Amino acid sequence: MTRVEVDRDRCISSGVCEHLAPEAFELDDDGVLQLLPAEPDPAVVAEAVRACPSGALTLADRAH
């Protein structure tokens, strides 16, 4: 299962990840990125991680 982690100290609230994978990422009213509980397509999440302009996202593959 592919999971993603966000470093909120690095996130600049660009919204790129939300644009690419709105089922997985959501900026709240304060511009704080929230990770949604859905299990999105890993390829889409990987693309969002690559596209993040601040490097705030990392993939974390877990065995369970």
Q: Does 4 bind ligand SF4 (CB under 6 A)?
A: no
Exactly one of 3, 5, 12, 50 binds ligand SF4 (CB under 6 A); that residue is: 12
Integer Cα distance of 17 and 1 in angstroms: 19
Size (the chain), residues: 64
Residue of 11, 60, 59 lying closest to 34 (CA atoms): 11
Residue 13: CB minimum distance to ligand SF4, A: 5
Q: Does 33 bind ligand SF4 (CB under 6 A)?
A: yes
Q: What are the residues binding ligand SF4 (CB under 6 A)?
A: 6, 11-17, 25, 33, 52-54, 56-57
